[in-house]
Amino acid sequence: MDRNLIDKRKETISNLIADEHYVPMKRKEIAVLLNLAKDEREDLNIIIEMLIQEGRVEETKRGKLKKPEEKILTGTFEGHLKGFGFVAAEGLEEDFFISEGDRKGALHKDTVQISLLKNSGGKRKEAKIIKIISRGTKEIIGTYQKSKNYGFVISDNTKFDKDIFVPNERSKGAVTGSKVVVEITDYGNQNKNPEGKVTEILGHINDPGVDILAIVKSYDMPLAFPDEVMHFVERVPDQISDRDRKGRLDLRDTAMVTIDGEDAKDLDDAVSIKKQGENYQLGVHIADVTHYVTEGNVLDKEALKRGTSVYLVDRVIPMLPHRLSNGICSLNAGVDRLALSCLMTINQKGEVIDYKIAETVICVDRRMSYTEVKKILEDKDRDTIAKYEDLVPMFQRMKELADILRERRRIRGSIDFDFPESKIILDAKGVPIDVKPYERNTATKIIEDFMLIANETVAQHFFWQEIPFVYRTHEIPDNDKIKKLSLFINNFGYTLKVSQEEVHPKELQKLLQKIENTSEEALISRLTLRSMKQAKYETVSTGHFGLATSYYCHFTSPIRRYPDLQIHRIIKESLHGGLTEKRLHHYHKILPSVAKHSSETERRADEAERETDKLKKVEYMEKRINEVFDGVISSITNWGLYVELPNTIEGMVHVTALEGDYYYYEESSYEMVGEHTNKRYKLGQKVRIRVAGTNRINRTIDFKIVSEEEDLEFGEGEF
């Protein structure tokens, strides 16, 4: 049966059973009523089973089918450390609270059926699980604890709140403190814990790197490349040949540099600039990775599977093997390399008035670091200026053009959130010795500005070519969130102009400019950021709200992002006139799944990066218990205040730790309010905290608001 026929038959059966004149019947009786032939009755059984799974039909113990007496929904169970959970129901934005007694043995990620309970007066709707449709977890990563005759595994994911019982003979020799992968063999029930067997021992919890490895495994991210990939890479040349150069635009005499972090090894973008009259000639040159990673070869399949490189605090999990990313595809200085170049002529207004996208051969003159370029342009460091004397005019032109491009983006309404990222420094054993903000400087902004304009130019070109492509999109924020933000900022005398139920990015940009250097800046900036949606990859150019542009793609990092690799292939085919009807049909067919998978692997990488950062921040603060720091309230929830310290570390002040009154969260004003004293804690407020405790398993840090007496008792913390 095709999808349309299934849906049509489901509606027929569902409407029949829902009819007010319907009398409960057995399946055979419904088949007779519908005059179905014997060979059609199996299809009827399939349809009925689907309706039962969806909660639209109920089957009694006597086999009679009837309309459910209570509303049944299907969704995914999300567990909680304390035993309760939530179900996100299909098609509904709001989730449902499930008490521990109403779980029916459900575990984190299980697909379940729920029936709604009468509202108990709380804000969140409640439900009970009536059936587990399918299990969502087959294996978990956790810490093994050994007892005399058995062992058990405590999951690293606190949402999976049940320990896994492991018989001794299935422990694979694990000892207390071993980080293990355990396969679930029996899911247990409401009164019995799940049972499993250890399939892999990652190492001991105290061994360097094992904590991060456990996170990598929990996100099912591939580490080592398969043998077939490594064998293939061995055949990739170390140098480009005369044959490779043939037919390419030769830019080896064009002065160009790479500008990256000091420890970067995969240099996939170089820049060149010169002035012609009043106009700038900007070249953005990107490693031609697809010359080696052709469609369908083992490298391409592995890169697609990985989707992106993952940058964790102690390691990089690359999308492509190092022999490529650090070798022939790295734009190292002084050697010929193949590139795909976007050559743009940009006027004094920052407009791209002409451009060319071409396959090129290049030779980078110098490898520069962000620090060195910053010393030249910001610090005016004499020694560094003297060292790179011949290149200084180039960097000055780069800054001129970058300032023009940034101003043009500002005028059109591009939003720039400047929240610092964390830089975590580890010692040789993986122990964090420093945590500090990773600040942007003149040099990092120049590269950002040049990559942005290249990405826009390429996206716009292929949009108007009407060729299948992968775009980077960012949707307009939900109107309800913008209305809520608008209502809140009115309290501070600010307004947002919303036309036709939509807000223009320029309005949010104006708001951020107005609040700059005010006491409410941190508060409103964070709320504005939370009102935004996540960017993603799509095959339709719906625009990028945050950048205030109709056309955007990711063109500049094919070594570490699959969408860039994918569009390079399309660009090269287009340049060679190879996009036949057959190839266009091929791309129309495969690109939706490429875009979807790339978005999913990007989310997975982001989450893993956040988890590893949180883990190392907890480890760093373990040695600072009872020290006192100044921080800013970064978030407020029903269960407490999150406070961010100047070094980007965030911890929680639990509502129960707020002394002197009973506190509750007032959602309309984003404040925690004392019931009797009316004392208020609000977003963006500066507070003084003491580090009260840490928990590596939960990756949490507990803070406590410091009283004046405590301030004198405990020592000032140092970072």
Last residue of a domain, one of 153, 178, 207: 207
Question: Do 183 and 101 have their domain in common?
Answer: no
Phi and psi, residue 494, nearest 5°: -105, 155
Q: Cβ atoms within 10 A of the Cβ of 609, count?
A: 17
Decide if 665 is inside a domain.
Answer: yes
Does pLDDT of 45 surpass 60? yes
pLDDT at residue 417 tops 90: no
pLDDT of the residue at 243: 93
| Interatomic CA distance for residues 409 and 416, integer angstroms | 10
Question: 352 and 254 in one domain?
Answer: yes
405 or 493, higher pLDDT: 405
On whether both 399 and 461 belong to a single domain, the answer is: yes
Same domain, 126 and 147: no
Report pLDDT digits (tens) over 440-470. 899 999 999 999 999 999 999 999 999 999 9
In a domain, 514, yes or no: no
Q: At 26, is the secondary structure helix, strand, or coil?
A: coil
* Domain endpoint, select from 134, 156, 182: 134
- CATH code, domain with 98: 2.40.50.140
From 6-15, 49-58, 135-144, 684-693, the region with the lowest mean pLDDT: 49-58
Looking up residue 162, the CATH number of its domain turns out to be 2.40.50.700
Confidence at residue 670, expressed as pLDDT on a 0 to 100 scale: 80
Identify the pLDDT of residue 714. Answer: 55
In a domain, 213, yes or no: no
- Considering the domain architecture, whether residues 120 and 234 belong to the same structural domain is answered as no
Please give the C-alpha separations between residue 581 and each of 463, 464, 539, 570, 573, in angstroms, as whole numbers: 17, 17, 18, 13, 12
Place of tokens 């960012």: 474
* Tokens read off for 313: 């605090």
Residues 129 and 153 in one domain: no
**Residue 305 falls within a domain, yes or no?**
yes
- Return the pLDDT at 560: 94
What is the domain count for the chain?
5
Asked which of 39, 66, 93 is the last residue of a domain, the reply is 66
State the Cα–Cα distance between residues 707 and 657, nearest whole angstrom: 12
Shared domain check, 297 and 192? no
Residue 527 in domain: no
Does 587 reside within a domain? yes
Task: Tell me the average pLDDT across 137-146.
Answer: 93
The predicted model gives 181-204 an average pLDDT of 93
Residue 49's pLDDT band (cuts 50, 70, 90): confident
pLDDT recorded at residue 89: 82
Q: What is the pLDDT of residue 319?
A: 96
Q: What percent of the chain has pLDDT over 90?
A: 64
Residue whose tokens read 């005016």:
380
**The predicted structure's pLDDT at residue 668:** 77
For residues 130 and 235, membership in a common domain is answered with no
Q: Looking at the structure, do residues 130 and 144 belong to the same domain, yes or no?
A: no
Q: Tell me the average pLDDT across 60-72.
A: 81
User: What are the residues whose beta carbons fall under 8 Å from the beta carbon of 155, sequence distance 6 or more?
Assistant: 140, 141, 142, 161, 162, 163, 164
Residue span of the structural domain in which 333 resides: 227-470+552-607
Query: Which CATH number does the domain housing residue 39 bear?
Result: 1.10.10
Residue 373 within any structural domain of the chain: yes
- In a domain, residue 255? The reply is yes
pLDDT level of residue 718 (50, 70, 90 thresholds): low
| Percentage, residues of the chain above pLDDT 70 | 96
pLDDT averaged over the chain?
90
Clarify whether residues 339 and 451 are in a common domain: yes
Same domain, 282 and 414: yes
Q: 324: closest CA among 259, 242, 257, 266?
A: 266
Does this model's pTM top 0.85? My answer is no
Whole-number pLDDT of residue 122: 52
Are residues 238 and 324 located together in one domain of the fold? yes
How much is the pLDDT for 715? 56
